[in-house]
Amino acid sequence: MLRTALVQTYHPYTQFTHVHPLGIMMISAVARQRGHDDCHILDMKVEDWTPERCVDELLVLKPKVVGLSAMTYEAGCMHEVAKLIKSKLPGVIVVCGGPHPSVADEDVMKDDSVDFVVRGEGEFVFADVLDGIDQGREDWTECKGLTWRNEAGEVVRNEDRPPPAELDELPFPSWDLVDHEKYHKVPRGGVIYAHKEFATMFSSRACPWRCTYCHNSYGKTFRERSAEHVLAEIDLLVANHGIREIVFMDDIFNFRPERAKKIARGLIERKYGLKLTFPNGFRGDILDEELVVLLKEAGMYRCMIAVESAVPRIQKVMKKNLRIEKVRKIVEFTAKQGVMVHGAFMLGFPSETEEEMRATIDWASSSHFHTAAFFRVIPFKGTELFEQVEHAGFDLPTDWSAYEPYQTEINLSKVEESNILRMRKLAYRKFYWSPTRMWRLFKLIPNKANMLPFLALLFARRAYAR
């Protein structure tokens, strides 16, 4: 049997948070469904492993195939692990996938330690690769979604494979292959939590809006799991793994409101008493009050609404075109239901001025958001923004670790770097130095004994450190 190890790579960064590696958990689920049962998951991030430590584990495991998943800023770690595998485990086949290899496959394949790149939603592509390796295949021309080398050593990029259209036909992630307790001990995505026993979930894939800065990992065609399929996975998580909290990671959970309401009603009927949080976001100007009320009854205690900029001109620049006043009203309504609302903002869009940054900071500070984050604008490879600034002649870093989301010096705006740093610190101080906001947050924050010291440290890092 073909032993396979799937590795979530890890680049240490300033704001350590983590969720379950659903990408490789789905890859393994489909591989096992295809008959490749000897499958193992190694999460470098939750283990806090160096590349050397990871490869030591692989030496014990002795896999035939290693799949490496990486975000852009994790690419350096991915390549380091690949090189160590080839030097210490000769003969092992290295397959790279995930957000970064999907958009930078030719760059990744320059590393002769990498044998294949699986592009896009790779569940079936990776299973096809395992089938082919098992069968001794040498010509991979017909394997859609794969980048590989032919006998002459030339990199071949096969045509894309359409992503799965019917998500209900996919198996659930391989929840049995992860050590749940390890995830109870690390800060999770979204930071604030009610219960340590949590599970991460995607109930849909993709977002149809075309914001220039956003990833294209799932394309732009929204695809959903039925409410029944989502609820069946939650039933399994509660019964088999003692889950008490669900972290929904959808790009836009509320795109089809009736489906979202059906999920909420199903949870209300089940009376599990689960807590729900949505750290990735709702689209604020299409979020309706009935859904907010239902989700609150189903257990929602916190959600995130991404605004990015309160300036209409910048909304057009980034092609988000959010209706700001509608967002303000739904944020206020949601807050009045006793749900913590987190706002996400970005500073440093192309052509953005200091005055426009200040306008966004002022708008955020006057809003009903309980918490907020002010990110730097980063042109990740594969986004329209990357293509725009590359075409405009910006000198973008070739060191992918420079695209780390919390500590970067990539500057696309008209504002000097030192001023952007100052504005970002100002944003945190102005937003949080409000007794009213602090009291509203204090009343709603769960798990206060654990959360308050951690949040104080997080505020200090963001408001005063680089």
User: Which pLDDT tens digit goes with each residue over 176-214?
Assistant: 999 999 998 877 766 788 999 999 999 999 999 999 999
Contact 305, 282 (CB under 8 A): yes
Distance of CA 5 to the CA centre of its chain: 21
Q: Among candidates 305, 221, 204, which has minimal Cα distance to 263?
A: 204
Report how far residue 409's alpha carbon sits from residue 417's, in angstroms, rounded to the nearest whole number.
7
CATH node for 187-464? 3.80.30.20
For the chain, the average pLDDT equals: 93
Residue at 29: amino acid letter: A
Q: Which residues pair with 47 in a beta bridge?
A: none
Q: Are 379 and 396 in contact (CB under 8 A)?
A: yes
Start-to-end C-alpha separation, the chain: 50
Report pLDDT for 212. 94
Measure the CA–CA gap between 80 and 85, rounded to whole angstroms.
9
Determine the pLDDT at residue 168.
Answer: 97
Report pLDDT digits (tens) over 374-432.
999 989 888 999 899 888 888 888 877 777 766 677 888 889 988 998 999 999 999 99
In the chain, domain spans: 4-157, 187-464
Crossing angle between the packed helical segments 448-464 and 417-432, to the nearest 10 degrees: 150
pLDDT of residue 461: 66
CA distances 33 to 128, 137, 202, 293, Å, are 12, 21, 20, 38
* Integer-rounded Cα radius of gyration of the chain: 22
From 3.90.870.40, 3.40.190.170, 3.10.400.10, 3.40.50.280, which CATH number describes the 4-157 domain? 3.40.50.280
Residue spans of alpha helices (H) in 252-323: 257-270, 289-298, 312-317
**Does 187-464 match 4-157 at the fold level?**
no
Distance CA 88, CA 95 (A): 16
What is the pLDDT at residue 13? 65
**Positive or negative, the Cα torsion across 149, 70, 249, 288?**
negative
Q: What's the pLDDT score for residue 261? A: 98
The DSSP H or E segment spanning 199 is strand 198-201
- Structural contact between residues 246 and 19, judged by C-beta atoms closer than 8 angstroms: no
Whole-model pTM: value is 0.93
Residues of the chain with pLDDT under 50: none
